[in-house]
Amino acid sequence: MTSPVSSRQAMTIWVVGVAVYFVAVLQRSSLAVAGLLAAERFEISASQLSTFVVLQLLVYALMQVPVGLVVDRFGPRRVLLSGTLILTLAQISFAFADNYAWALSSRFFVGVGDAMTFVCVLRLVTSWFPARRIPLITQLTGVLGQLGAVTAAIPMTWALSTFGWSRAYLATAGIGAVLLVVALVVVRDSAAVRSVSGPMLGLAGIRRNLRESWDHPGTRLGFWMHFSTHFSATVLGLLWGYPFFVEGEGMSAGAAGLLLTIMVFAIMAFGPIFAWLITRWPWHRSTLVLAVLAGIAATWTVVLAWPGGAPFALLVLLVVVCGMGGPASMIGFDVGRTSNPASRAGTATGIINQAGFIASLILAGLIGLILDWRTPDGVQGYPPEAFTWAMSAQFMLWGLGAVQIYRYRRKGRARLLREEPERWSRQFRPPQTAQRPASSSNHPGTASESAGGDSTSTSSSTPRASRPARSVGAGFRSATAMSRSERSRPLSWQNRSIVRIRSATASTSSRLNPYQPSPQPTTRRNA
């Protein structure tokens, strides 16, 4: 347990890291409410406008793996400071841009700086907080950072209309400059040293790190979780939400801004709820993600199939459900973290973090192309039916993601059961109450078996030990099943064998389920 001083220091460093991430999200999302103004300022089409977001997201996604490797090598503090500096300078450049090429190059570097923030903050969380608090702090990092999108949705709209393009964007750059100084003074990689460095990895070491991270089914599962649930809210919040609500659904500008704000608050509200759920039932993390994915797809189906403009209440439901996708995508980071050792945590996080942004840039580009395709020549703006076609492109990505999640969760679960059967078997089996024989006091192992959530046979006058292998598949059976001759031996011998098995299991890698202490013979966790 951390000391009070280190706990306060951890919270201070985390608050500064979240503030940096907040500004990164603000600068990333600032174009969402300025899309129509940018089209007029630079005299560009819908597909050219979408290029801003596509380029920014492409750079962000492509840099995630290199950033993860750099964080593992040089520590999160140095990378966080570098990213904040690049982001601030890029936003200053964007404030003065007066042509399409200049603005496009500025957004390129906005993507570079943005890509270097989130992974660093998550690494700081892992370094400064105990394992049981990491899921909650990770979710809070994501949802509090989304306040930047709220700032972009309403205050940024007001600033653009009041102060104009240059002054509004210079103000956001000024906030970044202030936080750069604060982070320079406050942020530390550890209590012992201000900046830590990992081992120098050659090309062979980098390839090995990447291969080992990607080959683990938990990393791939986290990748597709993030891919499937992240892009809908991201595309709405970054660029196409405002035009969709105004021109596609006939909402006023104020109503569109309110809907985007509600979506952000939904992200913030569901984050702590999902953190509690995955901490309580880590075995069912993928099930939660699939449920959220199904809800998002179903709600979009109703909205797009609605004749004419959808009612405001239905659009509120849409943004709330889409907002659930934000914290659901964060579950992918938790899966990746519990599947990889600390030495490649940054690499695994980078691999997973790029997934949602790859999906987002694909969708943003497709929406722009479909809108240009379905909008007749000479028509001002975009007709509602064009948005129906464009937003329907999401279903292709949802289908791909759902198939891959189901595929890799089977592989991931099989590996967990093979590596730590006693710990993970209790996550998916309901508790069973067994009648304790009168002689059970002479056999302390019986209580241990019940504590593991195993079934106990009562068909014989002689009590039998539990046989969990019957209900968990071949992987678990190969690791835990005892031979028939072993089960026929006296109960006391058998119980001692089970205790030895559990002791060996508990001594293996604790990273597979870091929320709970290692199972003890006399305790029980009801899952």
Q: What is the tens place of the pLDDT at every residue in 207-229?
A: 887 888 888 888 999 999 999 99
Residue with tokens 């709330």: 320
CA distance 512 to 338: 5
Token code pair at residue 116: 């270097």
CA distance 383 to 394: 19
Cβ proximity of 60 and 114 under 8 Å: yes
CA distances from 339 to 219, 395, 406, 516 (A): 7, 29, 17, 15
The answer on pLDDT for 454 being more than 70 is no
Token code pair at residue 348: 């695994």
Alpha helices, H only, 236-252: 241-243
Q: Using alpha carbons, select from 227, 168, 189, 199 the residue that is nearest to residue 26.
A: 168
Q: Which of 96-100, 280-284, 396-400 has the highest mean pLDDT?
A: 396-400
Three-state DSSP state, 431: coil
Q: Where do the domains of the chain lie?
A: 7-374
The answer on pLDDT for 302 being more than 90 is yes
CA distances from 209 to 122, 149, 341 (A): 19, 34, 11
Q: What pLDDT is stored for residue 429 in this prediction?
A: 52
When comparing pLDDT for 432 and 196, which is higher?
196
When comparing pLDDT for 149 and 323, which is higher?
323
**Whole-prediction pTM:** 0.65
The CA-CA-CA angle for residues 312, 251, 48, to 5°, reads 125
Cβ proximity of 318 and 303 under 8 Å: yes
Q: What are phi and psi for residue 443, nearest 5 degrees?
A: -130, 85
Encode pLDDT of 67-81 as tens digits: 888 888 888 899 999
The answer on pLDDT for 514 being more than 50 is no
Encode pLDDT of 112-170 as tens digits: 998 899 889 988 998 888 878 888 888 888 878 877 777 776 788 888 888 888 888 99
Cβ proximity of 232 and 394 under 8 Å: yes
Instruction: Write down how long the chain is.
Output: 527
CA distance 455 to 470: 9
The answer on pLDDT for 38 being more than 80 is yes
Token code pair at residue 477: 């059976």
CA distance 364 to 336: 26
Encode pLDDT of 379-414 as tens digits: 777 888 999 999 999 999 999 999 999 999 888 888
Q: Using alpha carbons, select from 420, 454, 516 the residue that is nearest to residue 412.
A: 420
Residue with tokens 């099943």: 481
Assign domain 7-374 to its CATH architecture: Up-down Bundle (1.20)
Cβ proximity of 339 and 219 under 8 Å: yes
Token code pair at residue 102: 């200049």
- The contacts of residue 245 (CB under 8 Å, 6+ apart) are 251, 255, 256, 259, 260, 315
